[in-house]
Chains A and B, each alone.
Chain A
Amino acid sequence: MALAKATAEQIKDLAARYPSRQSAIIPALWAAQHEQGYVTDEAMHEIAEHLGLPPSLIEATASFYSMFLTRPEGRHDVVICINAPCMLRGADEMVAYLERQLGVRDGGTTADGAITWHSTIECLGACGGAPMMQVDHRFEEDLTPERIDAIIERLRTTPASHDAEPKRPSPRPRAKKSQN
Chain B
Amino acid sequence: MAIKPLLTKDFATENLHQLSVYEKTGGYAGFKRALEMQPDELVELVKKSGLRGRGGAGFPTGNKWGFLPKGMYPRYLVCNADESEPGCFKDRYLIEKSPHQVLEGILIASYAIGCNLAFIYIRGEYLPQTEALETAIDEARQAGYLGKNVLGKGYDIDVILHRGAGAYICGEETALLTSLEGYRGEPRLKPPFPAVKGLYGKPTVVNNVETVCNLPHIVLNGADWFAAIGTPTGRGTRVWCMSGHVNRPGNYELENGTPIRELIEEHGGGVWKNRTLKAFQPGGASMMVLLPEHLDVALDFDAIQKAGSLAGAGAMVVMDETTCMVDAARRYVKFFHHESCGKCTPCREGTFWMANLFDQFEAGDAKPGDIDLLLDIGYNIDGRSFCPLGDASTWFPRSVIKFFREEFQEHISEKGCPFKKSVQEAVA
Measured CB to CB, the residues of A under 8 A from B are: 17-20, 22-27, 29-30, 57, 60-61, 63-68, 82-85, 87-89, 121-130, 134, 137-139, 164, 166-170, 173, 175, 178-180
Contact = CB atoms under 8 A, between A and B. Distances in A.
B45 to A, nearest CB: 27
Interface in B291-345: 315, 317-319, 323, 327-328, 331-332, 334-335, 338-339, 341
B47 interface: no
Contacts of B88: 123, 125, 127
A139 B128 CA distance: 9
A128 B135 CA distance: 25
B208 interface: no
B332 A26 contact: no
9 contacts: A23-B181, A88-B243, A88-B244, A123-B285, A124-B125, A127-B88, A128-B243, A167-B131, A168-B134
A133 B228 CA distance: 41
Contacts of A173: 141
A23 B180 contact: yes
B7 interface: no
Nearest to B168: A122
B331 A82 contact: yes
B399 to A, nearest CB: 14
Contact of B249 (A82, A83, A129): A129
B249 A22 contact: no
B116 interface: yes
B167 interface: yes
A68 to B, nearest CB: 6
Given A26-B163, A83-B331, A122-B338, A19 B117 contact: yes
Nearest to B272: A89
A49 B179 CA distance: 20
A128 B251 contact: yes
B84 interface: yes
B338 to A, nearest CB: 5
Nearest to B180: A23
Contact of A66 (B141, B163, B165): B165
Contacts of A19: 74, 117, 200
B182 interface: yes
B387 to A, nearest CB: 15
Contact of A83 (B92, B138, B335): B335
A127 B141 CA distance: 34
A26 B249 contact: no
Interface of B: 74, 83-89, 92, 116-117, 123-128, 130-131, 134-135, 138-139, 141, 158, 160, 162-168, 179-185, 200, 241-245, 249-251, 285, 315, 317-319, 323, 327-328, 331-332, 334-335, 338-339, 341
Given A22-B181, A26-B179, A83 B125 contact: no
Contacts of A137: 125, 127-128
Given A122-B338, A123-B285, A178-B158, A88 B328 contact: yes
Contacts of A20: 181-182, 200
Given A24-B182, A64-B184, A66-B165, A127 B135 contact: no
B136 to A, nearest CB: 9
* Interface pairs A-B: 9 shortest CB-CB: A127-B243, A65-B165, A67-B166, A123-B86, A22-B182, A66-B166, A64-B184, A137-B127, A25-B182
A121 B334 contact: yes
A169 B135 contact: yes
Contacts of B92: 125-126
A121 B332 CA distance: 8
B306 to A, nearest CB: 25
Contact of B125 (A24, A129, A134): A134
Contact of A88 (B124, B168, B323): B323
Contacts of A169: 134-135, 138-139
